[in-house]
Amino acid sequence: MLGEIGLRLGVLALALGAWGCDDGAGDDRGETDGDTDGGMAYACGDLVSADELAACSPSPNDYQPGADDSYPACVTDDGTYSLVDGTPSSIARVEAYEEVLSMLADDTSVDGFTAARAKYAEDEGLESRLQRREDLHFPEIPQSEWDPGVDGDKQCTVPTNVTAYPERCAGPALIAPVMNDAFAAGQTGEGEANVHVARIEAAGLWFLYLSVYKEANTCFTGKAKDCDSAWAYYTGGFDRAGGIGLAADIRDVSADAHAAIWDGFSAFRCIRDAYPADDTPAVADLDMDAQALLCSAQSQLTTALDFGLAQLVRSRLEGLKDLEGAEADAAWAGLEILGPVLDRAGNERDAVSYAPLESFWSAGLPATAAIDAAVQSLDAVFTCA
């Protein structure tokens, strides 16, 4: 309810100041295609309780389409997504991810990897965004360290920033090397082809997971149509009942997580509809009720995405117990990439329960008992009740 949010406005004001939630004034972000990079995440401190962060079921502050919640009436209340602008180019990048995997499913020869690599590297395609994708869960690069000759939303294309801030510059620092190494190995015929395919798939899912969160946030610090890109990066351009890429994988393992992610990015779209501002607004353009909703939306989407990824990893761990030989090697190769993506969220939610998993991902192909213990840790940390 708005009354409940009003009780938290004092906390919000303190949090915005303490975490530097400014409007990005002075940034030279340039023109975008509805898929901007950079921007500020709304780090809202203690506005949302630890209990709310730990569960993906609707909390009193969550947006639920058409429900009697804290949000005003808005365009997403019918449960569908309504575009801010034209068809986002992000859809083509999700389609390219799917096509890369389809090509490699048909042909894992040297020529097959070469053709898939060409699809991945198409102009303004998947690689173009992956290699500069920022992880807005981590602090922004200080403006004092920006390269003045590079737009604010592309500071993670600067090599010194990539080296100094690898967690923020996750695309070029962490994800792109996985992609590049896997493609290179496949193109030279080194190692097991299916292991390389598994690593490419996992790196692509990592990119999509970060992109949904990033685009929802820069819907306010970049362009309004970034809301469309958040929807596109999750669904590939489909409604709730469908989806490719990340949506297809998460929906297959958890209908609850899929629904929660939809509601999470819809919350941002709802606020953008209910509190219109100019095309490059600042958080300060919103009144205090709207700012509180924005921080709640950030928490809601973060929680849902983290839970969804955890359920995907959990399902793949369970499936690993039935595999042997080359199939097990390939499945574990993907988990070695996707599993550690949960480290940030796991430690934020329950560092004690999550602690065994930090070494698990790098310990080599696990036995059944170790898998069971890992699943128990995941269940303890990423609850949905």
DSSP string, 18-68: HTT----TT------SS----------GGGS-HHHHTB-SPPTTS--TTSS
In this prediction, residues 258-284 reach a mean pLDDT of: 84
Predicted local distance difference test score (pLDDT) of residue 35:
58
**Amino acid at residue number 30:** G
Distance of CA 138 to the CA centre of its chain: 12
Predicted local distance difference test score (pLDDT) of residue 93:
98
Which residue would you say has higher pLDDT here, 56 or 239?
239
What is the rounded distance in angstroms from the CA atom of residue 373 to the CA atom of residue 356? 9
C-beta of residue 52 within 8 angstroms of C-beta of residue 295: no
Tell me the CB-side half-sphere exposure of residue 327, using CA atoms within 13 A. 8
In this prediction, residues 364-385 reach a mean pLDDT of: 90
Contact partners, residue 278, CB within 8 Å, separation at least 6: 285
Predicted local distance difference test score (pLDDT) of residue 11:
31
DSSP state of 220: H
Structure tokens at 347: 């430690």
Q: Quick one: pLDDT band at residue 286, thresholds 50, 70, 90?
A: confident
Q: 55 φ, ψ to 5°?
A: -130, 145
What is the rounded distance in angstroms from the CA atom of residue 65 to the CA atom of residue 382? 24
Predicted local distance difference test score (pLDDT) of residue 57:
52
Best-predicted range by mean pLDDT among 5-9, 147-151, 169-173, 345-349? 169-173
In this prediction, residues 55-82 reach a mean pLDDT of: 83
Structure tokens at 261: 């992610």
Single out the residue of 152, 145, 137 nearest to residue 24, CA to CA: 152
Region of poorest pLDDT, from 27-31, 168-172, 261-265: 27-31
Predicted local distance difference test score (pLDDT) of residue 252:
96
pLDDT of residue 32 exceeding 70: no
pLDDT of residue 224 exceeding 90: no
Global model pTM greater than 0.85 = yes
Single out the residue of 12, 16, 60, 78 nearest to residue 270, CA to CA: 78
Predicted local distance difference test score (pLDDT) of residue 7:
31
User: How many Cβ atoms are within 10 Å of 185's Cβ, its own excluded?
Assistant: 17
What is the rounded distance in angstroms from the CA atom of residue 335 to the CA atom of residue 191? 18
Predicted local distance difference test score (pLDDT) of residue 288:
84
pLDDT of residue 166 exceeding 90: yes
Q: 383 φ, ψ to 5°?
A: -95, 160
User: How many Cβ atoms are within 10 Å of 314's Cβ, its own excluded?
Assistant: 18
Structure tokens at 323: 């595999």
What is the rounded distance in angstroms from the CA atom of residue 342 to the CA atom of residue 247? 18
In this prediction, residues 179-191 reach a mean pLDDT of: 98
Which residue would you say has higher pLDDT here, 322 or 273?
322
Best-predicted range by mean pLDDT among 21-30, 33-42, 358-367? 358-367
Predicted local distance difference test score (pLDDT) of residue 261:
95
C-beta of residue 322 within 8 angstroms of C-beta of residue 354: no
What is the rounded distance in angstroms from the CA atom of residue 361 to the CA atom of residue 352? 16
pLDDT of residue 152 exceeding 50: yes
Residue for token digits 């899929």? 258
Residue for token digits 């083509």? 92
What is the rounded distance in angstroms from the CA atom of residue 342 to the CA atom of residue 40? 21
What is the rounded distance in angstroms from the CA atom of residue 330 to the CA atom of residue 316? 11
Structure tokens at 9: 């406005």
Q: Quick one: pLDDT band at residue 202, thresholds 50, 70, 90?
A: very high
What is the rounded distance in angstroms from the CA atom of residue 74 to the CA atom of residue 97? 32
Single out the residue of 173, 176, 169, 170 nearest to residue 145, CA to CA: 169
Q: Quick one: pLDDT band at residue 281, thresholds 50, 70, 90?
A: low
Percent above pLDDT 90 for the chain: 70
pLDDT of residue 42 exceeding 60: no
- Could you give the 3-state DSSP secondary structure of residue 350? helix
What is the rounded distance in angstroms from the CA atom of residue 97 to the CA atom of residue 102? 9
CA distances from 364 to 32, 331, 336, 346, 374 (A): 42, 12, 9, 20, 13
Residues 98-120 pLDDT 10s: 999 999 999 999 999 999 999 99
Q: What angle do CA 109, 115, 121 make, to 5 degrees?
A: 135
